[in-house]
Amino acid sequence: RVRSEGQGGYLFFSPAMRRAADEILEKELAIRHALERGEFCLHYQPQFNLRSGIVDSVEALIRWNHPTRGLVFPGDFIPFAETYGLIDDIGDWVMMEAIRTAARWNAEGRPLRVSINVSPKQLYRIELIPMIRACLARFSLPPELLEIEITEAAIMRHEEFSLQRIEGLRRDGVAVALDDFGTGYSNIAQLMSLPMDRLKLDRSLLDAIVTDRRQQVVAVALIGLGRELGYEVVAEGVEDERQFALLKTAGCDYIQGYYLAKPLPEADLFARIAAIRADMQTNMREVPDRGQ
Ligand code: C2E
Ligand code: MG
Ligand code: MG
Ligand code: MG
């Protein structure tokens, strides 16, 4: 028994718990320092629009330039930040940085819509929408150049809040995407009744579409269903040409994945986009228009 309640409210810690608590404190401090010292950065992954044949948007993905560990990926600190109350500060930084950057691209005459990931706690925050509105105004970014990615899990946990935020964002002209679609155990009919702009089919639904006929059938059907309901469908985690060709034939609207580009620092982004454009000029002949 390491914890005792009902005896005047004392908590007894074992040495192991003490160590665990120290580690948490240490990591929390490291993240706070990282924010203060500007160790976080955003990488941007191109999203290729199969209808227009160009990259017209990017997903912003956070990285941590750790002084000793090198580049640290979000899986290593975002869930932690969500649990220990740091996600709001990180989220505010991401929002600001992404909007500022997209506004600069737009002012330079190379507009790209930027997609930002928002975790559940950020989504439920009452300040989310006023924050975004203020940020858009401050940097003069047209709202249609911003998209917010919300996960299925977040929506299912608090459908009421989520719906309010989705409607609020879209009223402001900000696009909303359902991220990681197909990873939960959600009610598809319920999910697909939500007023969103895009559905992002999770990588796990697409990794074997070339080799596994059943997976292929499901993916093709979901693409059809999504489009029929008026969403644009984004395929995530596309890694090779055969997946790309199949998804294009299935009528997917967007492709995102290592096949086209990994998430890149801004310094490498526009060169990569130009290279994709050159590659695709030959590759992109008969893509049917939306609605055909
Ligand atoms: P996500 O939003 O589903 O992002 C897609 C993840 O898949 C990214 O991992 C991306 O690098 C990776 N990916 C893209 N294409 C491919 C591919 O072809 N193959 C493979 N194997 N992977 C691919 P990343 O950057 O490590 O991000 C992981 C997750 O962390 C994201 O999943 C998102 O949920 C979260 N995240 C990232 N940045 C932020 C942020 O700024 N705020 C919040 N709240 N969450 C973030
Ligand atoms: Mg995402
Ligand atoms: Mg995703
Ligand atoms: Mg994911």
Per-residue pLDDT tens digits of the chain, which is 292 residues long: 445 455 556 667 788 888 888 899 999 999 999 999 999 999 999 999 999 999 999 999 999 999 999 999 999 999 999 999 999 999 999 999 999 999 999 999 999 999 999 999 999 998 999 999 999 999 999 999 999 999 988 888 888 889 999 999 999 999 999 999 988 767 788 788 889 999 999 999 999 999 999 999 999 999 999 999 999 999 999 999 999 999 999 999 999 999 999 999 999 999 999 999 999 887 665 444 544 4
Nearest CA to ligand 1 atom 23: 237
Which tokens sit at 288? 């049917």
- The number of beta carbons lying within 10 Å of the beta carbon of residue 259 is 17
| Per-chain residues with Cβ under 5 A from ion ligand 3 | 179-180, 236
Residue from 42, 44, 61, 255 whose mutation best tests the ligand 1 pocket (most atoms within 8 A of CB): 61
- The response to whether residue 71 sits with its C-beta less than 6 Å from ligand 1 reads no
Q: Rounded to an integer, what distance in angstroms lies between the CA atom of residue 191 and that of residue 232? A: 15
- The DSSP bridge partners found for residue 232 are 198
Sign of CA dihedral 78, 79, 80, 84: positive
Q: Is 150 in the pocket of ligand 1 (CB under 6 A)?
A: no
Residues 7, 206: Cα–Cα separation, whole Å: 54
Helix/strand/coil for 72 = strand
